[in-house]
Amino acid sequence: MVPLASRSNEDGRRMVVRMVVVDGMWLSRTTGDATERTDEGWRGESSSAWTVGVSVGITVQAAEVAACGDDALRVNSGGAGPVSAEWMVPKSLWLKRNEPEVYAAAHFICEYQDYMNFHLTGRMCASINNVSVRWHYSAERGGYPASLLDKLGLGALLHKWPKEVLPLGARVGGLTEAAARHLGLPTGLPVAQGGADAFIGMIGLGVLQPGELALLTGSSHLHLGVSREAMHGKGMFGSYADCLLPGTHVVEGGQTSTGSVISWYKRMLGEEVTYDILNAEAEAVPPGCEGLAALDHFQGNRTPHTDAASRGALVGLTLKHTRGHIFRALIEAVCFGTALILDTMRSAGYNPKAIVIAGGATRSPLWLQVHADVCGLPLRRTRVADACSLGSAILAAVCAGSFADVSTAVQSMVHVSEVVEPNPRMTVTYAAPYLAYKNLYPALSPLFHASNNPAAASTLIAPSILAGDFSNLEGEATRMAEAGAEWLHVDICDGQFCGNLTIGAPVVKSLRSKTRLFLDCHLAVMHPESQVQQFAQAGADQLTFHPEAAKDSEALAVAIRTAGMKVGVALQPGSPTSVALPLLQKGLVDTVNVMAVEPGFGGQPFQEHVLEKVRELRDLFPSINIQVDGGVNPNRTAKLAKDAGANILIAGTSIFGSEDPKRVVSALKQA
Ligand X SMILES: O=C(CO)[C@H](O)[C@H](O)COP(=O)(O)O
Residues catalogued as catalytic = 491, 629
Nearer to ligand X, 194 or 630 (CB): 630
Residue from the set 41, 235, 587, 631 that interacts with ligand X by CB under 6 A: 631
Region near ligand X per CB under 6 A, out of 237-245, 448-456, 551-559, 592-600: 592-600
Q: What's the min distance (Å) between Cβ of 467 and ligand X?
A: 5
> Among 143, 148, 116, which residue's Cα sits nearest to residue 131?
143
Position among 524, 580, 617, 667 found at the interface with ligand X (CB under 6 A): 524
Tell me whether residue 591 is exposed, middle or buried, using C-beta atoms within 10 angstroms of its C-beta: 0 to 12, 13 to 18, 19 or more: buried
> Which residues between 106 and 165 bind ligand X (CB under 6 A)?
none
- The site string for ligand X over 85-104 (x = CB under 6 A, - otherwise) reads --------------------
- In the complex, least distance from residue 600 CB atom to ligand X, rounded to whole angstroms: 5
Q: Which stretch binds ligand X (CB under 6 A): 165-173, 324-332, 415-423, 596-604?
A: 596-604
Nearer to ligand X, 151 or 639 (CB): 639
Distance, in Å, from the CA atom of 499 to the CA atom of 287, rounded to the nearest integer, reads 60
Name the residue among 323, 329, 359 with its Cα closest to residue 261: 329
* Cβ at position 602, least distance to ligand X in Å: 3
Which amino acid belongs to residue 649? L
Q: Amino acid letter at 508?
A: V
Kindly identify the residues of this chain, within the stretch 530-589, that bind ligand X according to CB under 6 A: none
Question: What is the distance between the alpha carbons of residues 434 and 440, in angstroms, rounded to a whole number?
Answer: 10
CB of 221 to ligand X, least distance (A): 45
C-beta closer to ligand X: residue 356 or 650 = 650
Residues 64 and 83: their CA atoms lie apart, in Å, by 9
Of 414, 480, 449, the closest CA to residue 558 belongs to 449
Least Å distance, CB 633 to ligand X, is 8
Of residues 462 through 481, those in contact with ligand X by CB under 6 A are 464, 466-467
Sign of the CA dihedral 210, 215, 216, 220? positive
Q: Which stretch in 139-147, 287-295, 435-443, 646-654 sits in contact with ligand X by CB under 6 A?
A: 646-654
- Touching ligand X, residues 283-322 (CB under 6 A): none
Residues 148, 169: Cα–Cα separation, whole Å: 29
- CA–CA dist 94, 72 (Å, integer): 19
SS3 630: coil
Rule CB under 6 A: say whether 489 interacts with ligand X. yes
Position among 254, 528, 600, 661 found at the interface with ligand X (CB under 6 A): 600
Q: Identify which of residues 282 and 648 has a Cβ nearer to ligand X in the complex.
A: 648
Using the minimum distance from each CB to ligand X, give the nearer residue, 282 or 651: 651
Answer yes or no: are the C-beta atoms of 13 and 20 closer than 8 Å: no
Cβ distance 330 to 370 under 8 Å? no
In the complex, the smallest distance separating the C-beta of residue 476 from ligand X, rounded to whole angstroms, is: 13
Q: Which DSSP string do the residues of 405-464 spell out, in sequence order? A: SHHHHHHHH--EEEEE---HHHHHHTHHHHHHHHHHHHHHHHHHHHTT-GGGGS-EEEEB
Q: Give the residue with the Cβ less far from ligand X, 296 or 629.
A: 629
Give me the least distance between CB of 356 and ligand X, in Å please.
56
- Which one of residues 408, 653, 658, 666 is an interface residue with ligand X (CB under 6 A)? 653
Give exposure, 93-131, as e/b (b: 16+ Cβ within 10 Å). bbbbbebeebbebbbbbbbebbbebbbbbbbbbbbbbbb
DSSP letter, residue 362: G
Of the candidate spans 134-142, 145-153, 317-325, 652-660, the one that interacts with ligand X by CB under 6 A turns out to be 652-660
CB neighbour list of residue 101: distance below 8 Å, 6 or more residues apart: 7
Q: Which residue, 364 or 464, is less far from ligand X as judged by CB?
A: 464
Which is nearer to ligand X, 226 or 525 (by Cβ)? 525
- For ligand X, the binding residues in 601-630 under the rule CB under 6 A are 602-604, 629-630
Does 525 bind ligand X (CB under 6 A)? Our answer is: no
Taking the complex as a whole, the smallest distance from the CB of residue 471 to ligand X amounts, in Å, to 18
Enumerate binding residues for ligand X (CB under 6 A).
464, 466-467, 489, 491, 524, 597, 599-600, 602-604, 629-632, 650-654
